[in-house]
Amino acid sequence: MTLAQAQAVIASAQNSGPRIFAYVVLSLATGVRTEEARALRWENVDFGDLDGVPPRAASVEVWRSVRDEGETKTVKSRRTLALPKLAASALTVLRDSESHPPGDLVFRTSTGRALDAANVRRQFRAVCRAAGIGEKWTPRELRHTFVSLMSDSDVAVEEIARFVGHASSKVTETVYRHQLRPVMTKGAEKMDVLLGPLA
C-alpha cells in the first residue's frame, strides 16, 4: 500500500471497532507477522512508564506465533519492539473496552476464542472496502507496507530486517525486493547529481 492507502485503511479501521483497529495499527506500525499478532497475549504488551526511573517505552514482546507449538518462524523472529504512539493508544483503547484476564489473547473473536486467518481476512477486507481501496488486500500486506514505508523513509535494510524478525538482511532483500525501492534507486539518484549537468 502507499502511505495514502495505509492512512485510509487506518481511518476505516478506526470506524470498524477497537479490535480490528488495534490489529491493523499494530501490524502496520510494527511489521509483525499475522500469525504473531494472532498469538499475542496481554502479558506480552507493556504500556510503558515514561515517568519511571529509568523511563520505559511502551513495547510488545513478539515471542510466539500460532505456528506449531507456538514457535515463531525463526529464532531471530523473537523480538521486543517499541510501540509507536498510535499502536500503544489503539491497544490501550482495546484493553479498556473489553474484559481481559492477564494471560488472555489480545485479539480474539467476540466469543473470546482465538482468531483464525479467515476471521482476520474477512474483517480486513471489509476495512479495505470501506477505505475505498478495494478488497484484493490481505492482512499480510500490512507487513509488506511496513517494510515499504520504512524503506521509503531511508531506514537501512539491516534495521528493517531486525524489525521484521528476519535472520539476515539478505532474507529481507529477497522477500521484499519490490518494497525496497530506495535501495534500488540510490545509484541513479547519485549519478543524476554527478552527471546531471551533462544531461
pLDDT of residue 91: 95
Question: What does the mean pLDDT of the chain come to?
Answer: 83
Q: Is the pLDDT of residue 184 over 50?
A: no
Distances (CA, A) of 186 to 1, 75, 138: 21, 32, 30
Question: Given 33, 38, 64, 144, which residue is catalytic?
Answer: 33
Question: Given 19, 64, 79, 166, which residue is catalytic?
Answer: 166
Grid cell, residue 32, equals: 509483525
Structural domains in the chain (count):
1
pLDDT of residue 67: 63
Task: Report the candidate in 179, 191, 192 with the shortest Cα–Cα distance to residue 3.
Answer: 179
Structural domain range at position 16: 3-198
Question: Given 67, 73, 95, 125, which residue is catalytic?
Answer: 73
Residue 166 annotated to the active site:
yes
- The answer to whether residues 97 and 106 touch, using CB atoms and an 8 Å cutoff, is no
Question: Given 38, 64, 79, 143, which residue is catalytic?
Answer: 143
Q: The pTM is what? A: 0.81
Task: Report the candidate in 166, 47, 165 with the shortest Cα–Cα distance to residue 106.
Answer: 47
CATH number, domain containing residue 50: 1.10.443.10
pLDDT band at 177 (very low <50, low <70, confident <90, very high): low
Where is pLDDT greater, at 63 or 24?
Answer: 24
- 45-95 pLDDT, tens digit each: 999 888 888 888 899 888 776 666 656 566 667 788 889 999 999 999 999
Residue 178 annotated to the active site:
no
End-to-end CA distance of the chain: 33
Residue 143 annotated to the active site:
yes
